[in-house]
A and B are shown apart, each in its own frame.
Chain A
Amino acid sequence: MSSTVDLDAIIGGSPFCRFLNVRAEVDARGVLATLPIRDQLVGNVMLPALHGGAVASFLEIACLLQLAHETGTSAPARAIDISVEYLRPARREDTFARARIRRLGRRVAVIHAEAWQGDEDKPVCLLQSHLRLPSIGAR
């Protein structure tokens, strides 16, 4: 299944997405984003566990990709606010995420996203975000 927008081009146009090496594919449920494990993502070397900031920013990217996929525009939306909940440590392994648009208004989108590792039913991190949609002008 393909997207109406080129997600790889969106990722390629974001230095930070390239820094994190985020990957995206589209299936029947929407965008499946992957954060491949690398040692530099670790935030706690004792556990070890991924840095909460790395996981949260991966979820922000998942929200942007799902929004681009559903709206068919690659113009970037801007974060207004985010709220993150950490449910369990993110282990030193690949992390996956899906986002769901809960409301798409004219100016603002409300998007929820979840990250998991081995088991999608055991999310490691949840994120809610408000995004200012593109092409409405300056905030």
Chain B
Amino acid sequence: MTGDTTPDDDTRTDGVADMADNPYASRMVEYTPYAVAVGMKYVSSSPGRGTILLPWRADLVGQDGTDILAPGVLTALIDHACGLAIMAGLGFEAAPATLDLRIDHMRPAAPRASVTCSAHVYRATRTIAFLRAEVWDSSPDDPVAAAQAAFTLNRREAK
């Protein structure tokens, strides 16, 4: 796992990035029932990094009248982007499971704003990956939430 080697291109939110590279990458979002239910869209992935878009939707708002996505929806987005980052780094030969996840909500997302989460593995051992993730609405320079997580890797090959 290489972590921070390709920080350049994966903050795109156009949803058409590098889907052709590995079919498993986009499937990780498209074949996960809960990711589909909340409407996550695969954006991009590279070894140790994953980016997912969550388009704004009225039924995901936390409080009637605010038009702001519920913080709990961001939790699932962050968790899933972390899983994608790990799988992309391990060639999709793992069954990662979240050990813990800490999220700082720096500010609410803007009303009716879609959000993007980019997660990256900053350190991995044979069994554990340590990740950081950020969520933004308009610009990665002004995140709405930041997260730190640890996952068990459950690599498929026998050790």
Contacts and interface: CB of A to CB of B under 8 A. Distances in A.
Contacts of B79: 43, 51-53, 56
Given A13-B63, A53-B77, A86-B97, A43 B72 contact: no
Interface string B26-56: 0000011111110000000000000000000
Contacts of B71: 57, 60, 79, 82
A57 B58 CA distance: 17
Given A45-B32, A54-B76, A79-B105, A16 B97 contact: no
A54 B98 contact: no
Contacts of A15: 58-62, 64, 70
A14 interface: yes
Contact of B63 (A46, A76, A83, A86): A76
B77 A51 contact: no
B95 interface: yes
B101 interface: yes
Nearest to A82: B103
Interface residues of A, number: 36
B64 A13 contact: yes
B32 A43 contact: yes
B54 to A, nearest CB: 11
Given A43-B34, A51-B34, A57 B60 contact: no
A52 B63 contact: no
Interface string A68-99: 00000000101111111110010000000000
A137 to B, nearest CB: 14
B93 interface: no
B64 A46 contact: no
Question: Chain B interface residue count: which class?
Answer: 35 or more
A45 B77 CA distance: 17
B88 to A, nearest CB: 17
A16 B60 contact: yes
A57 B33 contact: no
Nearest to B151: A86
B37 to A, nearest CB: 4
Given A78-B108, A82-B103, A57 B72 contact: yes
Interface string B68-93: 00111101111110000000000000
Q: Which 7 A-B pairs have the closest CB atoms?
A: A53-B76, A57-B72, A51-B34, A16-B70, A40-B37, A53-B79, A42-B33
Interface of B: 31-37, 58-64, 70-73, 75-80, 95, 97-105, 107-108
Interface of A: 13-16, 18-19, 39-46, 50-54, 56-58, 60-61, 76, 78-86, 89, 139
6 contacts: A45-B31, A46-B95, A53-B75, A56-B79, A60-B71, A76-B63
